[in-house]
Chains A and B, each alone.
Chain A
Amino acid sequence: MKKYLSILLVALAMPFTVTPVNAATEVTFWHMEGVPHRVDRIQSLIDEFNSANPDVVVTQEVQNWGEIYAKAPASVASGTAPEILVGIPDFTPILAEMGAAQPVDDFISELDSKYGFYSKALDQYTYNGHTWAVPLWNMAISVWYRKSVLEAAGVQPPTTWSELEAAAKALTKDGMYGIGLPGNKQLYTDQTIYSFMVNSGASEIYNSDGSLRFDNEGTVKAYDAYKNLYQYSAPDAANWTWGEAEACFASNGCAMILQFTVISTYDSQAEGDAEDLGVIQIPYADGMADSAGTVSYVNSAMIMTDDAAKMDASKRFISFLMEPGNYGRFINMEPGLFLPITEAGSKDDTFWNDPVAVKYKSQIETMLDNSTRGSLFGFTNGNTFTSISAISAQNLLSQTLQLAIIDGQNAASAVAEGQSIMTEAIE
């Protein structure tokens, strides 16, 4: 009896004592795309990778945008950080400074030689002599409108700011708002006002020593133009995020809006008439030669571990995602929103073959073209400093804007005050 008992005990203990020779490396992937069909698409790609790579197990964990600024550093501090974290440009500098995000220079060169990154995309993650994350996709703001609505009002698609104001004025009638501009203290508003700043020569907010040059003539011009246009926007625009602006456009409440995309809501919640959907580049200040571009917002993958096996596994997963054939499917988790950031990616059939991409091909081509001339405040000309995280997280660009559009200050004094708020925030 005793003999059998001891054999039984040993047999039961076996699984706990024998360490498997090839234990799978676990990689946790944190991202903020919680919409169910996006989660599903990512999961199917993860499943494909996991079966092709039995020595790695990737798991995705969705975080809420509202909490990620708090959660990511907290997870690093408590030792529970994920291996891969989807990064946003204004947040990566903090994580890089903490030593949480690993420099990926060699990895980038490798991917670059294979797929060819758009250089402006790399700009948003390259500073202090290293690149800190792998760009995954881009989003850039363009102006959206319905061709029929503009025609009916006898308005041409605007190219300059004075044309834009005239158009907004002419289009504001019968309960429709000529242009839906946000006035919220939020990232969407930051991005929108910056798209104006880019087009009045004010794209650079830093001097090369890290001090601010936010308060300059171009910025004042941009804030002034925005203030004049804001009167043609919806009354509750002070509360808008991207979703509310799109709803306004979809319901024909707004004639024009500045947005990354309206394609999916236009298709599912409005007429979905691809012929009628117009998209153009951001108008520029009078006196400039052409549109100088727009604001672009590149999301990336940061590697948060320095364990050799996990780093290697993470890189393999990221490479898998970047491969044409997978890449198109990956960024089409939300078709018509995420744009490719590599040359190879922009030629990927799986990107263009998605039904939505086929239906709205010309619009997406324009979006892509606009995005290649997109930049982000704080990441221009190599003048990137950690302080941009505080400026962006506190939405100081839109806070300054609110001084003008809500508190009623004139553009010049609002911008001046904005600069001092920013200076105080970064010391």
Chain B
Amino acid sequence: MKYQNKEGWIFVAPLLCWLAFSICVPLYIAIELSFFDIKIIGTEGKFVGFKNYIKTLNSSKFPKALTNSIYWVLANAITQTFFAFLIALTLNKHFKGVKIATNWIILSFIIPTVVIVVIWKLMLSSSSGIINSLLVQFHIIDKPIGFFSSSTSAFVSLVLINSWRWSPFLALIILSGLKSINQEIYDASKIDGASFYAEFFQITLPQLKGVLFVLGLVGTLLSFNVFDIIWLITKGGPSSATTTLPLLIYETAFTKFRISQAAALSVITSFILLTFSIVFIKIMGKDND
């Protein structure tokens, strides 16, 4: 194939211009902000060089939020992968109603985050919630649980809610990958007497490499940056147990009124994510398009 540089760039140019305006310019402004000591937006501040960065790296909040973020990403990855595969493998079979189920499984993804928050806050409430009500009725517990009352339970509940939202979407993408696998490979392995697990790990997973690459990369980034759900349900509590880096940034900017410090924190966070992306691409991207 001939290399057609000029035309390629022309096609890509409009989008790149748009993103240059909406991402690069704000990014530049944010980086600039991080070198001053501006507290409230719009006020003056003096140039302080790397002071904000040093302060952030030395503070106790940053490592805690970073650890929370890492746990958050891992917990979500495991939970969502489990549910996504469960759904995808199920929907890959033939049964009555599979088309309808496949069409509507995505319901939890297409509704606004606010609605998700309302749904789960009410369902998990210990005074009026259906979950506690059922658990007590069936004598699984004798008093209602506070799903957001302790550090662990709040974290776990949020992971489950976020996974509830994203798993169907991931499932559909995996399903698309599953459908593109040549059935003959499975037929051949069945003749050889392969078990379900062998099939899954030796055929299915390797065949899904391309899909899993993108989901791994983009999924991790999107997961890391989840803000709305956590903020609207626990605001990062109780006792900062669910304060991930995006929340810490927002808090620093708007409740601590320290814009420049928040900007420095954002730059550090982006740097971490960029590093992760580059490493991930280098390691996993070898045989992918």
Give residues 56-100 of B contacting A (CB, 8 Å). none
A70 neighbours in B (Cβ, 8 Å) = 253-254
CB of A383 within 8 A of chain B? no
Judge whether B237 and A185 touch: CB under 8 Å. Answer: yes
Cβ 8 A contact of B237, one of A236, A238, A254, A390: A238
Asked if B256 and A425 make an inter-chain contact with CB atoms under 8 angstroms apart, the answer reads yes
Residues from chain B with Cβ under 8 Å of A395 in the complex: 255
Closest to B250 in A: A70
Instruction: Encode contact with A along B224-241: 1 for CB under 8 Å, 0 otherwise.
Output: 000000001111111110
Closest Cβ of chain A to B195, distance in Å, is 44
A238-B40 contact, Cβ under 8 Å, with A251-B127, A253-B127, A406-B238: no
Measuring CB to CB, which residues of chain B are less than 8 angstroms from any residue of chain A? Answer: 40-43, 121, 124-128, 143-151, 154, 232-240, 251, 253-257
State A73–B38 Cα separation when bound (angstroms).
13
B243 to A, closest residue via Cβ: A185
Known pairs A74-B42, A183-B238; A234 contacts B251 (CB<8 A): no
Residue in B43, B128, B233 whose CB lies within 8 Å of A98: B43
Cβ–Cβ < 8 Å partners of A97 in chain B: 40
Cross-chain contact A407 with B256 (CB below 8 angstroms): no
CA distance A239 to B146 in the complex (A): 9
Classify the secondary structure of B's interface with A. loop
CA distance A402 to B253 in the complex (A): 23
On whether the beta carbons of B254 and A239 are closer than 8 Å, the reply is: no
The answer to the question of A393 belonging to the interface, with a C-beta cut-off of 8 Å to chain B, is yes
Give chain A's interface residue range (CB within 8 Å of chain B). Answer: 35 or more
B149 touching A406, Cβ below 8 Å: yes
A403-B239 in contact (CB<8A): yes
Given known A73-B40, A76-B42, A185-B237, contact A236–B253 (CB-CB < 8 A): no
The answer to whether B256 touches A234 (Cβ under 8 A) is no
Task: Assess A234 versus B238: contact at CB under 8 Å? Given A74-B42, A77-B42, A94-B257.
Answer: no
Does B40 contact A234, Cβ atoms closer than 8 Å?
Answer: no
* Contact between chains at B238 and A238 (CB < 8 Å): yes
Tell me, in angstroms, the Cα distance from A78 to B42 when the chains sit together.
8
Complex CA gap A149/B232 in Å reads 34
A-B contact pairs, 17 of them (CB 8 A): A69-B254, A69-B255, A70-B254, A73-B257, A98-B40, A98-B42, A183-B149, A183-B238, A234-B146, A236-B149, A238-B148, A238-B154, A238-B238, A239-B234, A244-B127, A406-B238, A425-B256
Q: Which residue of A lies closest to B237 (CB)?
A: A185
Q: Taking CB as reference atom, which chain B residue is nearest A100?
A: B42
* Chain B residue, CB-CB nearest to A426: B256
* Interface pair A406/B253, CB less than 8 Å apart: no
Q: Residue A235 at the B interface, CB < 8 A? A: yes
| B236 proximity list for chain A (CB < 8 A) | 185
Q: How far is the CB of A95 from chain B (nearest CB, A)?
A: 9
- Contact of A236 with B239 in the complex, beta carbons under 8 Å: no
Q: Which of A320-344 contact B (CB under 8 A)?
A: none
List the A side residues contacting B234 at CB < 8 Å: 239
**Contact string against B for A residues 209-239, beta-carbon threshold 8 Å, 1 for contact and 0 otherwise:** 0000000000000000000000000111111
Are the CB atoms of B127 and A247 closer together than 8 Å? yes
CA–CA, A260 and B232, complex, Å:
23
Give the distance in Å from the alpha carbon of A150 to the alpha carbon of B233 in the complex.
33
Chain A residue with the shortest CB-CB distance to B127: A253
Contact B256 A238 (CB under 8 A): no
A-B residue pairs, 5 tightest by C-beta: A77-B42, A235-B146, A238-B149, A236-B126, A393-B255
- Which residues does chain B contribute within 8 Å of A393, judged by CB atoms? 254-257
